[in-house]
Amino acid sequence: MMTYIDYKDVVPKAVIGLVVLLILLVPIITTNESTLSILILSGIWAIAVMGFTLVLRTGQFSLGQAAFMAIGGYTSAILTAQMGWSFWPAFLLAGLVSGLAAFLVGMVVLRVGGIYFSIITLSLCEVIRIVAQQWESVTRGARGLITAQPNPIPLGFFEINFFSSTVPYFYLTVCLVAFTALVFWRIGESRLGRSFAGVALNPVLAEHQGMYLMKYRVIAFTVAGVFTGLAGSLYAHFLTVLTPTMLGLWQSIQILIMSIVGGIGSLVGGPIIGSILLYTFGSYLTRLDIYGIQQLLFGAVVVLVLLFLPKGTGLVDLWGRFWTKVIWREKEFEMDEAEE
């Protein structure tokens, strides 16, 4: 089954800090719009992937995470485009609405676990897409909603202007990713996170220990829903247009592939690494001229990662192995030794 390795003992904090600093300095190093937008979009996916990984930690395999992105995205898009709200309240409300939807769906659907849960979330994902496609009066159907940009924020001598460049979006995404990562990391460390793992690893034992399985599953699903909704809202506003096909079943599958390839051993590191690497890889592949080669290589990479980094350890495990083998020059990393 899954093993949960904590890399904070393996990788020096300074290195992680350096990486974070580098990411923060990216807009100063390069102002290339396409580089920035790749980073922003992979950050947005990272949030959704973290949500998926949290749900997966309770043992449920959700194939409908893109639906919550769609709910969040459409909430804020409708509020800003059709009702004239400004970005920030709409953004927050998107998270709330998506979380509420996740709560209601979870209360009903999480009762049936396993593959049935996956199929039901898959169906809901398609239902949301079809409704968004056909409810022309509200969502403008396949033509898509044009979302409003956030208003400029005056800061004395300086103005944060979302219209002129992607840099404010970059920092907004970094903040949101950092906040999500912090919340999820705290959840993973806390009693709640351990309960999630317990519910997944041995539901029968967990239930006999007095844990109400539904409670933990619904909590994980709702928290994931809130953050996925925020990510969806940001996605819609960053891309300035939201069409139903942008968030469908394929995006759900993409989220789960990013999660598994990144590694489900950690709630934060795996999703971030997985989504940044796979998204960047995917968007560089689209520049190739040959039709179909990007999908072919994408699929091949997914399969190769699963073949050579088995059991969901994923790419995040490479990071740990790199430090234990190359830097520490140890043959095998033992959990017990590192904890001493």
Partner 1 sequence: MPPAGIWIDGLIQSCAYMTMAFGMVLVFSILGILNWTHGQFYMLGAFVVYYAITAVGIPFPLGLLAAGVLVAGLSILVKKIIIDHITGDLYVGVATMGLIFFFEGAASMIFGMQDKGLARVLPGVVDLGSFSVSYQKIAVVSFTLVIMIILFIMLNFTRIGLAIRATAQQPDAASLYGVSVERLSLTVMGIGCGLAAMAGGIIAPLYTINPFIGGIPMIMSLLAIVIGGLGSLTGAIVGGLILGFLNSVVAYHLSYLSEVVLFMLVVIILLVRPQGLFGASVK
Query: Roughly how many angstroms between the first and final C-alpha of the chain, as a whole number?
Result: 25
- Angstrom CA distances, 74 to 16, 30, 151, 231, 280, stand at 35, 32, 19, 12, 26
In whole angstroms, how close is the CB of 149 to partner 1 at the nearest point?
Answer: 32
3-state helix, strand, coil in the chain (%, to 5): 70, 5, 25
Q: CB–CB of 68/232 below 8 Å? A: yes
From 307, 332, 336, 340, residue interacting with partner 1 (rule: CB under 8 A): 307
Closer CB to partner 1, 46 or 109, in the complex: 109
Closest separation in Å from C-beta 152 to partner 1 = 40
Residue in this structure with the two tokens 């202007």, named with its chain if needed:
161
Neighbours of 190 (CB within 10 A): 11
Q: How far is the CB of 288 from partner 1 (least distance, A)?
A: 11
Strand partners, 154: 159
Stretch that binds partner 1, among 31-39, 131-139, 265-273, 330-338 (CB under 8 A): 131-139
| Binding positions for partner 1, 32-61, rule CB under 8 A | 61
Cα–Cα dist 189/122, whole Å: 30
Is 202 one of the binding residues for partner 1 (CB under 8 A)?
no
Distance (Å, whole) CA 324 – CA 328: 5
Nearer to partner 1, 52 or 87 (CB): 52
The helix or strand, by DSSP H or E, that contains position 158, with its residue range, turns out to be: strand 158-160
**Least distance (Å) between residue 115 CB and partner 1:** 7
Where residue 311 falls (left for φ over 0; alpha for ψ -120 to 50; beta otherwise) is left
By CB under 8 A, is residue 249 in contact with partner 1?
yes
- Under DSSP, the state recorded for 61 is -
d(CA 80, CA 328): 53
In angstroms, what is the minimal distance from the CB of 243 to partner 1?
16
Q: Is 116 one of the binding residues for partner 1 (CB under 8 A)?
A: yes
What does the alpha-carbon distance between residue 251 and residue 69 come to, in Å, rounded to a whole number? Answer: 10
84 interacts with partner 1 by CB under 8 A: no
Q: Is 66 in the site for partner 1 (CB under 8 A)?
A: no
Size of the site for partner 1 (CB under 8 A): 43
Q: Which stretch, 36-44, 83-91, 212-220, 301-309, contacts partner 1 (CB under 8 A)? A: 301-309
**Minimum distance of partner 1 from residue 301's CB (angstroms):** 8
Site residues for partner 1, 256-295, by CB under 8 A, read 256-257, 260, 290-295
Q: What is the smallest separation between the CB atom of 54 and partner 1, expressed in angstroms? A: 16
Query: What are the structure tokens assigned to 231, written together?
Result: 């990510």
Residue 12 or 299: the one with the smaller Cβ distance to partner 1 is 299
Binds partner 1 (CB under 8 A): choice among 300, 327, 330, 337: 300
DSSP 268: S
The residues of the shown chain that bind partner 1, judged by CB under 8 A, are 61, 108-109, 111-112, 114-116, 119-120, 122-124, 126-127, 130-131, 133-134, 249, 253, 256-257, 260, 290-303, 306-307, 310-312
